[in-house]
Structure 1
Amino acid sequence: MRKKVIIITNGTLPVPAIFGGAAENLTQVLLEINEDFNDFDFTVFSIGKNKIKSKEFLAFKNTNFVFINEDSFFFKLNKIVKYLLNKKFNNRFPNQFLSTVLKYKKELKNADLILISNNPYYGKHLKEIVSCPIYLHLHNDYINANQGDDKIRLLNYFDKVIGVSNFIKKSVLKVTPKSCKVSYVYNGIDLNRFTLFNEVLESYLKKKYNLNKEDTVFIYSGRMQESKGIVFLLESFLTLLKKHKNIKLLFVGGTVYYNSKINEVTKNLIRRVESSLASEHVFFTGFVDYKYMHHYYKISNVAVLPSIETEAFGLTSIESQAAGLPVIVSDVGGMSETINKDCGFIVNVTGDLKSQLVHFMDKLIEDETLRKEMSKKALLNAQKFSNSFFYKQIKSELNEL
């Protein structure tokens, strides 16, 4: 008999992952592969009742979706009320999304296991209703020794925490009670997607961004936030532009996953590019739908992901390598776990970040042989992060008592 597993999303972005999101995309991978192996009966609680089209979820035979209408007046009003109450009383109450989920008591009580996606506050409220194990799939460094006792105590309501990297596992292990197991499973992606070509579309993109055959094209993909190290990346590129004329830089991403609205950080970067007369070398794409992302990697030569904030893992690093790109990453959090010395370089954020970026980027501009060799190694390294391997590992974790 198949195990009945309820997945409670964070309630920020919908599943199916029509608006992207790392946790949401990974949940969708789990659901999709389960369609082939029929290991679990999933029920997924998600927002998006008025956004998800039937074609997005009817193909799933082993998953029942319960969509919450986050656009209703009642939901929006209570969302504000719950937010204010939790701000005053230290997150004592369930937020409006979870409050709605908790009304489905019959479904919750019939579950063999509940898997919460990336929200450590949900466990204590569910523990009051269910007797089955509750697991937390942790995608961010939300619980560590630097957090207050109130947040650390949230682990008492979970039977297991599954981190997305060894870094997350180690952080949680420092504070977890004996009653809570801790493990990790690396994120997985559909590697085949990133090997696909579309000559017409990619030729169009090359023309749009003025990319020539002799250019070395650097790409940053992710949210346009200063904490991602994008200011250091731009300054490093502008320094290199004084030496190399055949280089380009693509900033691919929006303020949030599905929003192309330009934020102040991006505006400042654009002004810096214009004042440096580099508009023919630096381009800002805005948000790009995940289903088109591999085409942007395919028109690039090197990925640079110099985050200065703690990264739990680094999915964009894996995507880049799956497309055959050498990668330059920072040493914060679990990002460095995604590469090895043969396929990428690691910069130390506590050192002179700009000079390190300039050094490694310059090395890859000047040494085409090295770049091509690292490209081959990147493809090999990406094999460790396939969606099938992720499914095998997460299946083992969900079946473990």
Structure 2
Amino acid sequence: MHILIVAPEQIPVPPLLGGSVEISILAIARQLARSHRVTIVSRAHARYPRHSVIDGIHIYRVPTGSPAVYLSHVMNFVRGRRFDLVQIDNRPRFVMPLKRLLKKTPVSLFLHSLTFVGPPYASKAAAAQGLSCADVIIANSSSLQQQLGARFPASAGKIRKVWLGVDTKRFAPGPAARKGRAFRLLFAGRVIPRKGLPVLLKAVKLAQAECGQPIHTLVAGSSTRAGYVGRMRSLARKLRVSARFLGTVPHSRIHRVYRQADAFVCPSQKHEAFGLVNVEAMSSGLPVIASRNGGIKEIVDNGRNGYLIRDYRRPRAFAKAIVRLVREDRTRRRMARQARQDCLRRFSWKVSAKRLSGIYAAKLRR
């Protein structure tokens, strides 16, 4: 099978810093390329050639500037070429034009969130049109599958779930923590209000007062909001919480940061379709304390590989879980082992690609 993957127009493949969609595209493509021909079309970037080959995957990069400009260049690339199936990631508006051009070639729409099926990126009618033109729709969690089905019932029957994964070799447990040092919590992701960093900082303040042991917070990520990181630094100082803001850490190096932590916290305040950082943390041997929302609850098994926080708007709810992990070293180590085992069994990229390949093979047999 020759599969063409059309990446979004915003971040190149491979991503220079981060971008969960682009990370997922390349990781799944690497696994698919073991059994199939895989071509990726991505945006051009000054640091990359227009064509390169990575692990047998041909990546062609075309000009961007806007979604419309990028799509026109993608269509010029596709015109006259033959593929067995085309996968479009996160851009419903690309489906109908490419479907018209490719005629009988099956088109898959791989959605990583609800972001691009609603305002300001698309009206409900435009999103519905894109979904209706797709031959199959891939959602990265059961939660996203259900949300899409409820919003677009006419397309619900062709939505399939494929969990994302993690590079279990690169994201692996580090050396045991040295005794006597502060307990280290890690937050990784965009530093924006919906990710809940203020809730975490306030929770650390409460946990530290209760357990009487120093807790250090690592924050890996940056913000698109002017001054927001500065406000978070100020909040940490006001609360007298020990926090180190690392800024943007390139994904090629982020595994080293996970190895510095004792536990991972994901205090998301809004729906998370999947939450790639959670499986990266678990694969690194970290128990996860996370908001019980969206696809996160398909990853974190409460009391087994981490803690799910139902009342996730309240810092005290997170503080209780943090205190438990600080005080109960045996519990933390048991959860850490289980988290790693769960990733090896359920959340590797090999598992993701096998599921996706099966869906595509079934579509082509029809």
TM-score (norm 1): 0.82
Instruction: State how far apart, in whole Å, the 1-side matches of 2:52 and 2:16 are.
Output: 11
Q: RMSD value over aligned CA atoms? A: 2.6
Instruction: State how far apart, in whole Å, the 1-side matches of 2:115 and 2:246 are.
Output: 30
Q: Which residue matches 1:194? A: 171
- More divergent stretch after superposition (136-145 vs 309-318): 136-145
Q: Is the 8 A contact 2:149 2:155 kept in 1?
A: no
Instruction: State how far apart, in whole Å, the 2-side matches of 1:275 and 1:143 are.
Output: 37
Superposed displacement of residue 212, structure 1: 7.1
3-state DSSP class of the match of 1:392? helix
- CA separation of 1:277/1:328 partners in 2, compared to 1, >3 Å: closer, same or farther? closer
35, 40, 51: which one pairs with 1:44?
A: 40
1:28 aligns with 2:26: yes
- More divergent stretch after superposition (239-248 vs 219-228): 239-248
Q: Which residue matches 1:88? A: none
Deviation string, structure 1 residues 163-207 (Cα, Å, up to 9, x no partner): 10011111222324269611011101110112265x8xx9xxx9x
- CA separation of 1:50/1:144 partners in 2, compared to 1, >3 Å: closer, same or farther? closer
1:169 aligns with 2:131: no
3-state DSSP class of the match of 2:29? helix
1:106 aligns with 2:79: yes
Q: Which residue matches 2:100? A: 128
- CA separation of 1:282/1:183 partners in 2, compared to 1, >3 Å: closer, same or farther? same
1:77-226 matches, within 5 Å, as 79=66, 95-107=68-80, 110-131=82-103, 132-142=105-115, 148-174=124-150, 175-177=152-154, 181-195=158-172, 197=174, 213-226=180-193
> Aligned letter for 1:137?
F
Deviation string, structure 1 residues 19-51 (Cα, Å, up to 9, x no partner): 32111111111222244x2x2222211113422
3-state DSSP class of the match of 2:154? coil
Instruction: State how far apart, in whole Å, the 2-side matches of 1:195 and 1:277 are.
Output: 32
Q: Which residue matches 2:353? A: 391
1:235 aligns with 2:202: yes
Equivalent residue pairs, number:
355
Superposed displacement of residue 144, structure 1: 7.4
Instruction: State how far apart, in whole Å, the 2-side matches of 1:178 and 1:305 are.
Output: 31
- CA separation of 1:217/1:161 partners in 2, compared to 1, >3 Å: closer, same or farther? same
1:288 aligns with 2:255: no
Instruction: State how far apart, in whole Å, the 1-side matches of 2:190 and 2:226 are.
Output: 11
Instruction: State how far apart, in whole Å, the 1-side matches of 2:91 and 2:156 are.
Output: 19
Superposed displacement of residue 142, structure 1: 4.1
Superposed displacement of residue 388, structure 1: 1.2
Q: Is the 8 A contact 2:283 2:340 kept in 1?
A: yes
Superposed displacement of residue 148, structure 1: 3.0
Instruction: State how far apart, in whole Å, the 1-side matches of 2:313 and 2:94 are.
Output: 40
Instruction: State how far apart, in whole Å, the 2-side matches of 1:41 and 1:263 are.
Output: 43
- CA separation of 1:98/1:248 partners in 2, compared to 1, >3 Å: closer, same or farther? same
216, 228, 238: which one pairs with 1:248?
A: 216
Q: Is the 8 A contact 2:132 2:155 kept in 1?
A: no
> Aligned letter for 1:8?
V
Deviation string, structure 1 residues 198-219 (Cα, Å, up to 9, x no partner): x8xx9xxx9xxxx974321111
Instruction: State how far apart, in whole Å, the 2-side matches of 1:123 and 1:231 are.
Output: 39
Instruction: State how far apart, in whole Å, the 1-side matches of 2:292 and 2:135 are.
Output: 30
Deviation string, structure 1 residues 218-267 (Cα, Å, up to 9, x no partner): 111111111001111111112223343421111111226xxxxx842211
8, 11, 15: which one pairs with 1:10?
A: 8
Q: Is the 8 A contact 1:218 1:303 kept in 2?
A: yes
Q: Is the 8 A contact 1:161 1:180 kept in 2?
A: no
Instruction: State how far apart, in whole Å, the 1-side matches of 2:107 and 2:157 are.
Output: 10
What 5-or-longer segments of structure 2 have no aligned partner?
Answer: none
- CA separation of 1:42/1:229 partners in 2, compared to 1, >3 Å: closer, same or farther? same
Instruction: State how far apart, in whole Å, the 2-side matches of 1:289 and 1:178 are.
Output: 37
Q: Which residue matches 1:66? A: 60
> Aligned letter for 1:46?
S
Instruction: State how far apart, in whole Å, the 1-side matches of 2:315 and 2:328 are.
Output: 20
- CA separation of 1:362/1:194 partners in 2, compared to 1, >3 Å: closer, same or farther? same
